[in-house]
């Protein structure tokens, strides 16, 4: 899982101080498009064995994740929980030549790690419902085929289950 901790513009100097003090050991990167500073981490946000992902909240602007899941799919769409927004999209990934697998991409944005962790966990448990559903409703189930009763005419005789009694010549 890719976790991105987006930093406030004035955070770079504060981070340098934290690195000098040995409190923080990650490097700050700048987004190619926006120039905004961020820290990227590669841990499962709900893994209890993951290292402490906290960065001082006073320097955090947002926390985002991107994750690919291969089972336990959820309905495609947008989800919201408190101040967290999550998006789920279904796609196909190539595992190698001729080996494709269906998967879902989950991305989320929150004000802090704890809120993101809680909402992501609820999503994976199936306890959140989308506020915007992108999938079509389940297609209607066709009526069950039944055996013709004796004496019942079929469509070739002019009777139609849709239009009723046909014209006989």
- pLDDT, tens digit, for every residue of 9-58? 887 777 777 777 766 666 788 899 998 988 888 888 888 887 776 677 88
Identify the pLDDT of residue 78: 97
* pTM of the predicted model as reported, rounded to 2 decimal places: 0.71
Burial class (CB in 10 A: 0-12, 13-18, 19+), 107: middle
Q: Which domain holds residue 105?
A: 2-136
Q: Does 78 fall in a domain?
A: yes
Which run of H or E residues covers position 5?
A: strand 2-7
What is the tally of structural domains in the chain? 1
Do β-strands 84-96 and 29-30 pair in parallel, antiparallel, or remain unpaired?
A: unpaired
Q: Does 151 fall in a domain?
A: no
State yes or no: pLDDT of 108 exceeds 90: yes
Burial class (CB in 10 A: 0-12, 13-18, 19+), 58: exposed
- pLDDT, tens digit, for every residue of 62-71? 999 999 999 9
Q: Does 144 fall in a domain?
A: no
Q: Is 34 helix (H, G, I), strand (E, B) or coil?
A: coil
Q: Where are the beta strands (DSSP E) in 29-155?
A: 29-30, 37-41, 60-69, 77-81, 84-96, 99-110, 132-133
| 2-105-30 Cα angle (round to 5) | 35
């Amino acid at each position: 899982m890719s976790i991105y901790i987006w930093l406030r513009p004035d955070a770079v100097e504060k981070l340098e101080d934290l690195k000098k003090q040995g409190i923080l050991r990650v490097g700050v990167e700048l987004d190619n498009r926006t120039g905004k500073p961020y820290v990227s981490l590669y841990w499962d946000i709900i893994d209890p064995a993951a290292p402490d992902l906290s960065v001082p909240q006073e320097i955090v602007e947002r926390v985002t994740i991107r994750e690919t899941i291969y089972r336990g799919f959820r309905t495609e769409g947008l989800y919201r929980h408190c101040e967290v927004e999550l998006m789920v999209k279904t796609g196909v990934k190539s595992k190698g030549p001729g080996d494709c697998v269906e998967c879902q991409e989950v991305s989320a944005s929150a004000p802090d790690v704890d809120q993101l962790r809680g909402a992501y966990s609820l999503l994976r448990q199936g306890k959140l419902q989308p506020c915007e559903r992108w999938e079509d409703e389940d297609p209607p189930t066709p009526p069950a085929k039944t055996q013709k009763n004796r004496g019942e005419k079929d469509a070739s005789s002019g009777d139609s289950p849709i239009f009723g009694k046909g014209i006989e010549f």
